[in-house]
Structure formats: C-alpha cells, structure tokens
C-alpha cells in the first residue's frame, strides 16, 4: 500500500511549537501576516528576520512527540511506499527518525539567498546579514514559503498523489492551498482518505473518515492499526 501523509502545525503542537490559526496569532504584537509574507519582508526585513531567528532558536528547546515517532515507525515498515509531505518548517519529523520527508513550505534549518537563489543549511541568526556562502552577497532570507510564493517540489507531490492508495492529513486546518486541495486530488485518483485532527476542519467533509483528538494519541493508534 502506498501512503502519502500530509502534516501541519497540529502535529508539532504538543511538542510546544505554536500553530498558526489556533493561538492568538500574535508575535510581539505583530499579526502573522505582518511577519510572514513577502510584502512584510520588503517593508520591514529586520522584524521578519527576528521572527524567524526566534523560531529557529526555539527548535533547540523542543522534541518530537509520540505522533512524529509513530510516523517514523511506519516508515520502517513501509519504506519507499511512505512519503511525508509536511507544511511545517520545524525538523521534528527528521529528529524522530523519518527520512522520507518533503518540506513543501521550506525549513527553518535552511537559508535562501535572494541574490543567487541558492539554499544553504543554516543554524545561525540571519538578522546581522551574514554573507551567502555561495555568492558572498548579504542577501540571505529564511528559506520558507510565504503567501504568493510557489511551494517546493509540487511536481513530485502531484505525481505521488496520482498513485497513492491512502492519503492521511494530520493536524492541518485545510485553510492554505495548495495543500488544502491534496485530499480532493487524491480522491480523484481513487485513494482512500483519512483526517486526524483535534477538531473537524473546513476540509473534513472531503475525507472518507475523520477522527478527532490529539495527534499524540490518534497517530500512534492509527499506526498500530496499520502495522497489525
């Protein structure tokens, strides 16, 4: 069975990583849209760099939870028949042991050069304008996908969606496209579909089955079902 898993902020919530649409939506008094769009970056790059520097630094203080760990166990069993497509920019899937992970909205552990467009592994703050290791320009930005930008590796995701037997969405509100449309594409190609979320979402109606509860409980239980 070929399984495609889409994860969102909800899978990392119990690790202590804030979600986007459940919290009060503010960071130091700024709304999410004020710090996570290309327009915000053009208008006030320092504030945006500080926002992402803080989130990159916070990664050191969080750990994968039982949901990430269960998905790593599922990969051990399914191997290449499993792909995780995550909208998250944290590295908790990898730290739990998953290797088949595609970060469609980029990663906090990477920097993107606005000049030469190369991506570089990155662990340090960007606020002080370090030089790009590729071209030497002081043009590095967080390697994340903001509204209006093209998510990474969409061609590959659409290819995998065409031959997926089971599509599972975990901890995502289904509010942001193109990820929110994956379930309908999977259905069109004949996949079964399952949603695991704390609550029903605006996409729940498109799934064959939707289970409600914390990811740290629902995901290990579902993985046990898959493995038994």
Binder to ligand BJW among 50, 68, 93, 105 (CB under 6 A)? 105
Q: Which of residues 139-198 bind ligand BJW (CB under 6 A)?
A: 144-151, 154, 171-173, 175-178, 197-198
Number of amino acids touching ligand BJW (CB under 6 A): 35
Query: Minimal distance in Å, beta carbon 225 to ligand BJW?
Result: 17
Binder to ligand BJW among 19, 98, 193, 203 (CB under 6 A)? 19
Between 32 and 81, name the residue whose CB sits nearer to ligand BJW: 32
Q: Is 112 in the site for ligand BJW (CB under 6 A)?
A: no
Active site residue 93: no
Between 1 and 202, name the residue whose CB sits nearer to ligand BJW: 202
- Catalytic residue, chosen from 30, 93, 105, 120, is 105
Segment interacting with ligand BJW (CB under 6 A) among 2-10, 93-101, 115-123, 132-140:
2-10
One DSSP character per residue, the chain reads --EEEEE-HHHHHTTT---SSSS--EETTEEHHHHSSHHHHHH-HHHHHHHHHHHHHHGGG----HHHHHHHHHHHHHGGGEEEEE---S-HHHHHT---EEETTEEEEEEEETTT--EEE--S-STT-PPPTTT--S-EEEEEPPTTSPPTTHHHHHHHHHT-SEEEEES--S-STTGGGHHHHHHHTT-EEEEEESS--TTGGGSSEEEES-HHHHHHHHHHHHH-
Interacting residues toward ligand BJW by CB under 6 A: 8-10, 13-14, 19-22, 36, 87, 89, 105, 144-151, 154, 171-173, 175-178, 197-199, 201, 214-215
């Amino acid at each position: 069975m070929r399984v495609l898993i889409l994860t969102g902020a909800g899978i990392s919530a119990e690790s202590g990583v804030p979600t986007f649409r459940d919290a009060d939506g503010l960071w130091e008094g700024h709304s999410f849209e004020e710090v996570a769009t290309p327009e915000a970056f053009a208008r006030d790059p320092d504030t945006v760099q500080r926002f992402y520097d803080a989130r990159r630094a916070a990664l050191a203080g969080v750990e994968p939870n039982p949901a990430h760990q269960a998905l790593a166990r599922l990969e051990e069993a399914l191997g290449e028949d499993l792909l995780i497509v995550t909208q998250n920019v944290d590295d908790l899937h990898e730290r739990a042991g998953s290797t088949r992970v595609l970060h469609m909205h980029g990663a906090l552990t990477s920097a993107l050069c606005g000049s030469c467009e190369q991506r570089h592994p990155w662990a340090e703050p960007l606020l002080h304008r370090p030089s790009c290791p590729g071209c030497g320009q002081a043009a590095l930005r967080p390697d994340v996908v903001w509204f209006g930008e093209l998510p990474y590796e969409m061609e590959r995701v659409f290819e995998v969606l065409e031959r997926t037997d089971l599509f599972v969405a975990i901890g995502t509100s289904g509010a942001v496209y193109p990820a929110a449309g994956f379930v309908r594409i999977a259905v069109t190609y004949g996949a079964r579909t399952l949603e695991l979320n704390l609550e029903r979402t605006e996409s729940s109606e498109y799934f064959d089955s939707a289970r409600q509860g914390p990811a740290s409980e629902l995901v290990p239980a579902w993985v046990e079902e898959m493995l038994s």
